[in-house]
């Protein structure tokens, strides 16, 4: 087949490929001895068939990647090419190895420029991930060095290649494929005169690697989130509210959700059971039900085997001040609390609510989570502090009356997902209750946001509700995609921060009963 009409296929090598492989290696490696003996190739195919990869154009072998398994601790330190072989040029494969070692990647010169090398490197990376190996290691020749050896030390040469001031056909390609130079190795391949015997020790780190002793203890790589766009309605008792909450918890559990999410102050209609003329007393009246809600929500979390993000509840602290607090009730019977830190002017004026003083990431059996209540998500520093603690999901229970208020929360929440490369779940309430002061109108469209990259929806919205309609909705969150986007995305916001210029720090404060 001609280069104008290639029929390329990626497959594992077989012993029958050796005649073509020998021709290809003799052509590419004419300066360092040419092809491996047939016995060497046959042993590689026998010992580690998955690691021997070829690209064929119809029946013509045009690209090859050869690999073996090695012990990471041994070969991540300086070594020589001869450490991989015995006296008969047979390559040692360690079946218990925890790293992939790249022996050779070669492309037929007439096929260069078609990015076949990238295909082979991508196949190696996928093999490394599928086998749960720690890394890919390689000793990389620097064949252009002989042109600069009189003027540059080897380390200076490496620096100029990294800055793209010099092009080296091997090192430049490896750097472009996310390999990092760990160190310079001397005498790696003495017969390599173009490299003056030098080589780079290169590493590609498998960010999805799980040590064998941790695999059973590791958290799930996926989690289903279910949320309730809650209808604010008149209730005649606490039991009526809890009955409605349990109905939704039961439904979300039946659909296999790891989380059930409720909005901010979802039990606020209970203020309708007292005098509305004094808003401060009405909100304190609401706080008297919080302990009962905590007890019942904990029971539901355990009974229905689901983690509950209890929106928020008004709580009276030991200092007799009121706080707006989000709760995580885990299905193992434990719970956590996150007070609202930034209080809106209306909350201060009408309800005399105080801001809390703690900010935490919480471990769950379905990922590391953070909780920010409504207005808090409009302060990006908080989410960044949580992201620095490896948060996977940010839950934002909210309560907004107008569409412009809702859009402030939505746009800020979506920005938090992009800049912190995490999932963000916003959950609000709908409906009108003119009989209750400060609760007469609601506007919400709950949603789940993702980072903005190829692995996610084009608009970075995983799901969203119909505006102003009571309903439940679900999203399946893939944490593996988060790891990949944080390390190998088209942009890597967290990694690329200029920490030499700025940072965000939490100021420790004396314990406050909030």
| Residue positions annotated with a catalytic role | 264, 340, 374
Which residues, at least 6 apart from 500, have a Cβ–Cβ distance to it below 8 Å?
none
Max CA distance (Å), the chain: 94
DSSP character at residue 350: I
Nearest to 354, CA basis, from 377, 321, 327? 321
Please give the helix or strand (H or E) that residue 313 lies within, else none.
Answer: strand 313-316
Burial grade of 6 (CB within 10 A; 0-12, 13-18, 19 or more): middle
Nearest to 263, CA basis, from 514, 513, 478, 470? 470
As a whole number of angstroms, the distance between CA 16 and CA 32 comes to: 24
Which residues, at least 6 apart from 441, have a Cβ–Cβ distance to it below 8 Å?
401, 402, 432
Nearest to 296, CA basis, from 327, 275, 252? 327
Answer whether 299's CB lies under 8 Å from 292's CB: no
Inter-helix orientation angle 290-303/238-254, to 10° = 20
Answer whether 264's CB lies under 8 Å from 399's CB: yes
Answer whether 102's CB lies under 8 Å from 138's CB: yes
Which residues, at least 6 apart from 82, have a Cβ–Cβ distance to it below 8 Å?
none
Which residue bears the tokens 């993702």? 450
Answer whether 425's CB lies under 8 Å from 263's CB: no
Strand partners, 489: none
Q: What is the DSSP secondary-structure string of 380-397?
A: HHHHHHHHTTT--EEEEE
């Amino acid at each position: 087949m001609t280069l104008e009409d290639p029929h390329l296929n990626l497959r594992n090598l077989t012993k029958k490929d050796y005649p073509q492989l020998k021709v290809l290696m003799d052509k590419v490696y004419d300066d360092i001895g040419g092809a491996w003996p047939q016995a060497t190739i046959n042993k590689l195919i026998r010992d580690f068939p998955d690691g021997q990869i070829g690209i064929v154009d119809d029946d013509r072998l045009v690209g090859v990647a050869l690999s073996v398994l090695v012990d990471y601790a041994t070969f991540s330190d300086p070594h020589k090419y001869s450490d991989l072989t015995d006296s008969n040029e047979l390559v040692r494969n360690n079946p218990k190895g925890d790293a992939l070692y790249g022996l050779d990647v070669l492309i037929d010169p007439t096929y260069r420029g078609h990015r076949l090398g990238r295909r082979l490197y991508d196949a190696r990376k996928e093999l490394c991930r599928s086998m749960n190996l720690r890394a890919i290691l390689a000793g990389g020749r620097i064949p252009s060095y002989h042109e600069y050896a009189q003027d540059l030390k080897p380390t200076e040469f490496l620096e100029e290649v990294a800055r793209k001031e010099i092009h080296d056909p091997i090192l430049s390609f490896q750097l472009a494929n996310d390999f990092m130079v760990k160190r310079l190795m001397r005498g790696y391949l003495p017969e390599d005169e173009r490299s003056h015997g030098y080589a780079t020790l290169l590493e590609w780190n498998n960010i999805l690697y799980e040590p064998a002793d941790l695999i059973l203890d590791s958290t799930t790589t996926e989690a289903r989130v279910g949320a309730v766009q809650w209808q604010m309605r008149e209730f005649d008792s606490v039991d009526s509210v809890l009955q409605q909450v349990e109905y939704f918890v039961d439904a979300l559990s039946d659909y296999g959700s790891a989380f059930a999410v409720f909005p901010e102050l979802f039990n606020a209609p209970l203020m309708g059971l007292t005098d509305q003329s004094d808003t401060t007393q009405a909100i304190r009246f609401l706080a008297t039900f919080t302990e009962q809600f905590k007890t019942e929500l904990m029971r539901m979390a355990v009974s229905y085997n689901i983690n509950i993000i209890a929106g928020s509840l008004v709580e009276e602290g030991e200092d007799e001040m009121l706080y707006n607090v989000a709760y995580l009730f885990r299905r193992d019977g434990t719970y956590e609390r996150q007070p609202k830190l930034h209080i809106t002017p209306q909350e201060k004026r009408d309800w005399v609510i105080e801001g809390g003083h703690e900010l935490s990431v919480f471990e769950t059996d379905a990922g590391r989570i953070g909780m920010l209540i409504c207005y808090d998500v409009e302060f990006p520093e908080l989410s960044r502090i949580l992201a620095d603690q490896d948060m996977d999901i940010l839950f934002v229970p909210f309560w907004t009356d107008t569409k412009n208020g809702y859009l402030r929360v939505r746009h800020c929440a979506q920005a938090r997902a992009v800049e912190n490369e995490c999932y963000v779940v916003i959950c609000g309430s709908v409906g009108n209750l003119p009989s209750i002061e400060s609760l007469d109108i609601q506007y919400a469209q709950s949603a789940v946001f993702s980072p903005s990259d190829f692995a996610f929806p084009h608009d970075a919205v995983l799901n969203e509700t119909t505006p102003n309609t009571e309903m439940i909705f679900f999203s399946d969150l893939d944490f593996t995609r988060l790891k990949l986007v944080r390390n190998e995305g088209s942009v890597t916001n967290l990694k690329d921060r200029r920490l030499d210029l700025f940072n965000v720090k939490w100021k420790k404060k004396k314990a406050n009963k909030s």
